[in-house]
Amino acid sequence: MTHTTGTVTSSTTDLRTAPVAAPRESIVTRTLVALDIDGTLLGTDGIVPAVTVGAVREVRRSGHHVVLASGRSLVGILPVAGQLGIDRGWAVASNGAVVARVDRTLPSGYRIEKVHSFDVEPVVRLARAALPTVQVGVEEVGWGYRVNRVFEHGLVNGEQRRVADTELWAAPSSRVILRGDGVLDLLEPLRDLGVTATPAGPDWVDVTPRALSKATALERIREREGVDPRSTVAVGDGVNDLEMIAWAARGVAMGHAPAALIDAADEVTGRIEEHGVVAVLSTLR
């Protein structure tokens, strides 16, 4: 394992609205660069630092494919794409359950390419029986969530509509959020149902369809764009990035990532407050 080093300084220059120049003709091999969002591109303030915006812009200007890959819903990814000045490009949402094209020329700002959905009733029934006070959110792509209790501000992206349990499972969904004390004890029972259960904190589990991850969605995009498997880079900081880091030819963990991700990575870069992702991006220009 290596450590990506470099001094990164912050800048107050607003690069978000400046147009991206055409890709440089000198680029022969284009790289697919998969970037996690929370804890990688932005911190708890929800703002992408200007130095990161500039680094992403330069990588895109060099002709590389920058793909935002997140556990966030699509409506949570789009504002970040806007901060980065990405008007066209790929996005992987809901831990790989949703693949979309960002396209600012469309009224919605995006086009759905693929949605994997599943019957959420067994998941909700299991969770509610084991933990009667569990908070449940069932994703509606491009809108928000059906919930049994409203999530506090900032915890989920998009709108929320409180409904009865029977309406939670009234239609298939791409993702279910389970939140509450003891919810991590449900990981194996959930997996026994044939779904993907991914911890996203001590009291949070994301449930998506079987055998899905950011990596499965990224491989679909790589094939679509004709990128050589050896020309793939991924940067992340969470357990839900494990498969993505293993998938990439160059998997990079943020310096504050958990030990499991650091052990799985090819490289470790700086922490979020050190703009670690910028050090990685600077090697791709």
Residue 180 CB partners (closer than 8 Å, separation 6+):
131, 133, 134, 135, 203
Whether 150 and 125 share a structural domain: yes
Question: How high does pLDDT run on average in the chain?
Answer: 92
Give the model's pLDDT for residue 114: 97
- Averaged over 184-194, what is the pLDDT? 98
Place of tokens 């989920």: 156
| pLDDT tens per residue, range 139-186 | 999 999 999 999 999 999 999 999 999 999 999 999 999 999 999 999
- Residues 69 and 159 placed together within one structural domain of the fold: no
What per-residue confidence (pLDDT) applies to 14? 45
Do 182 and 243 belong together in one domain?
no
The burial class, CB within 10 Å (0-12 / 13-18 / 19+), for 284 is middle
Question: What is the pLDDT, as a whole number, of residue 44?
Answer: 85
Same domain? 37 vs 105: yes
The confidence band for 285, taking pLDDT boundaries of 50, 70 and 90, is: confident
- Indicate the pLDDT class of residue 1, thresholds 50, 70 and 90: low
Phi, psi for residue 58 in degrees, rounded to 5: -65, -40
107/7 same-domain check: yes
- The domain in which residue 162 lies consists of 121-208
Question: Does residue 104 share a domain with residue 16?
Answer: yes
Token readout for 229 is 């498997």
The answer to whether residues 238 and 104 belong to one domain is yes
Cα separation, 41 vs 57, whole angstroms: 13
The token duo for 97 is 């359950």
**Mean pLDDT for the stretch of residues 197-224:** 97
Cβ proximity of 38 and 70 under 8 Å: yes
**Total domains in the fold of the chain:** 2
Beta-bridge partners for 199: 205
* CA distance linking residue 9 with residue 31, whole number of Å: 25
- For 4-62, write each residue's pLDDT tens digit: 645 454 443 444 444 444 444 444 489 999 999 999 999 888 999 999 999 999 999 99
Neighbouring residues of 85: CB distance < 8 A, sequence distance ≥ 6? 15, 16, 17, 18, 19, 20, 53, 56, 57
Strands (E) located in 6-134: 32-35, 65-69, 88-93, 98-103, 110-115
Shared-domain flag, residues 179 and 241: no
- The dihedrals phi and psi of 40, each to the nearest 5 degrees, come to -120, -55
Judge if 52 and 162 occupy the same domain. Answer: no
Question: Both 239 and 101 in a single domain?
Answer: yes
Q: What is the pLDDT of residues 99-133, one digit of tens each?
A: 999 999 999 999 999 999 999 999 999 999 999 99
pLDDT in tens, 56-104: 999 999 999 999 999 999 999 999 999 999 999 999 999 999 999 999 9
pLDDT recorded at residue 4:
66
Can you tell me the distance from the alpha carbon of 157 to that of 79, in angstroms, rounded to the nearest whole number? 10
**Residue ending a domain, choose from 208, 240, 256:** 208
Q: Which of 208, 235, 253 is the last residue of a domain?
A: 208
Contact 176, 209 (CB under 8 A): no
